[in-house]
Amino acid sequence: MKTLSAFTVLLILSLVLPISSSSQVSGDGVRLAQNSTGNNETEEVEEITAVEEVSPVSLWDSENFPILDRGVNLLTPRTLRKNSFLIVIEHRTRKEANKESFDDFLGYDAGGLKIGLGLRYGLLDNLETGIYRLNGTLEAFDVYEYDLKYSLLKENSRCPGLALRSGVTWYSQKGGEDASGLFSQLLLGKTVLRRLTLGTGLLYHSESSNDLKSNLDRNFSVAVPAQLELRLNSRFALEFETAANVIGYHAAHPIITGGLKILTNRHTFSIIISNNQYMSADGIVANAGRAMNKPIVGFTITREINL
């Protein structure tokens, strides 16, 4: 009985436990398995031919955020999404913000406020059009802009973005003769290290204007801009830009502008300090009549609407 019981246990163990085997892998990636009889059997092993690298999601390039088509006054080479609208509302004070600031509410309550209203539309992914109006204060006319902006080169990791913006300015004068002028802007920009965006280009207007220009001055102006945007995080960015006239009519001081930009879904709000009141293409090429020790303040709101 003891012999039979031992035989029964050995039989059960042989059925339950796997047969031990040794294996080796050949040079061509095929595993050779040796069973209990000593014969080699081949078993194919799946090889990994490529590993896909997944980069982290960039919060400041999220589809929920608006296309940043401008710094403050200067546009960037970026174009709007196709079939999308961009609404622009801008205010700039005339009186310097550091003079009687409390009584005049940083200049907002002192009169002479410049108000800009704009609407842009993305015709294609690389082509947009826009209309912009800037009211007259000391000037006898209101300014209307009509333009097209075409992306010549989309920005990527190797090359900067490049765009050409051209249009016409109409000076509407109530009770007087209207006038017009042509403008063109070459816009160049590149983002480096994900947080820093740099831009430059060339600005031209055939009939520049500001509150100091007279009929005796030269008609046209040419300026070189410079832009810098530092992205602090996904919601906040610091803006700095300047435009310095190089040819044609100009006032005494280059335009200097800085600000804090706040971004939410399809919306931006910028708080601005500058030495220049003019936001239209005819004004940003003509320098400023005041230095930065007499700053004005303002704000810009943009809202992107996608169809």
Residue 304: Cβ-neighbour burial (10 angstroms; 0-12, 13-18, 19+): buried
* 166-203: burial string, b at 16+ Cβ within 10 Å, e else: ebebebeeeeeeeeebebebbbbbbbeeeeebebebeb
**Residue 21: per-residue pLDDT:** 42
Full domain range(s) for residue 242 = 65-306
Tens-digit pLDDT profile for residues 183-211: 999 999 999 988 999 999 999 999 999 88
Does 51 map to a domain? Answer: no
> Given a cut of 50, is residue 129 above it in pLDDT?
yes
pLDDT at 105: 82
Q: How confident is the model at residue 96 (pLDDT cuts 50, 70, 90)?
A: confident
Q: How far apart are CA 191 and CA 197, in angstroms?
A: 4
Q: Is residue 274 scored above 60 in pLDDT? A: yes
pLDDT in tens, 65-89: 788 899 999 999 999 999 999 999 9
Burial class of 14 by CB neighbour count within 10 A (0 to 12, 13 to 18, 19+): exposed
Confidence (pLDDT) at 66: 81
The pLDDT score that the predictor gives to residue 2 is 47
Q: Which of 9-18, 120-129, 180-189, 203-212 has the lowest mean pLDDT?
A: 9-18
Q: Is residue 181 part of a domain?
A: yes
Mean pLDDT, to the nearest integer, of 290-303? 95
On whether residue 268 sits in a domain, the answer given is yes
pLDDT band of residue 61 (cuts 50, 70, 90) is low
- Give me the mean pLDDT over the 248-272 stretch: 95
Q: Which of 265, 282, 302 is closest to 206 using CA atoms?
A: 282
Identify the pLDDT of residue 33.
Answer: 45
Q: What is the pLDDT of residue 51?
A: 54
Nearest in space to 114 (alpha carbons), one of 88, 132, 97, 93: 93
Contacts from 216-220 at CB under 8 Å and sequence distance 24+? 217/249, 218/248, 218/249, 219/181, 219/248, 219/249, 220/247, 220/248, 220/249
Residue 221: inside a domain: yes
Q: Are 72 and 255 in contact (CB under 8 A)?
A: no
Q: Is the pLDDT of residue 120 over 50?
A: yes
Q: Is residue 170 one of the residues assigned to a domain?
A: yes
pLDDT at position 139 is 85
Convert the pLDDT of each residue in 220-243 to its tens digit. 999 999 999 999 988 999 999 999
**How many domains does the chain fold into?**
1
Rank 16-20, 49-53, 69-73, 185-189 by mean pLDDT and report only the highest. Answer: 185-189
Q: Please give the pLDDT value at position 26.
A: 46
Sign of the torsion angle spanned by Cα atoms 201, 205, 206, 211:
negative
Mean of per-residue pLDDT scores for the chain: 84
pLDDT at 176: 84
DSSP structural state of residue 35: -
pLDDT of residue 27: 46
**The domain spanning residue 200 has which CATH number?**
2.40.160.40
Confidence class for position 123, pLDDT limits 50, 70, 90: very high
pLDDT band of residue 62 (cuts 50, 70, 90) is low
Q: Are 90 and 300 in contact (CB under 8 A)?
A: yes
Query: d(Cα 228, Cα 196) in Å, to the nearest integer?
Result: 7
In the prediction, which pLDDT does 60 show?
Answer: 58
For residue 144 the two structure tokens come to 């209307």
As a whole-number percent, the residues of the chain with pLDDT over 70 amount to: 79
- 282-305 average pLDDT score: 95
33 falls within a domain? no
Task: Tell me if 235 is assigned to some domain.
Answer: yes
35: in domain: no
Decide: 230 and 241 in contact? Cβ < 8 Å: no
User: Mapping DSSP to helix (H, G, I), strand (E, B) and coil, where does residue 241 land?
Assistant: strand
Pairing mode, strands 255-264 and 267-274 = antiparallel
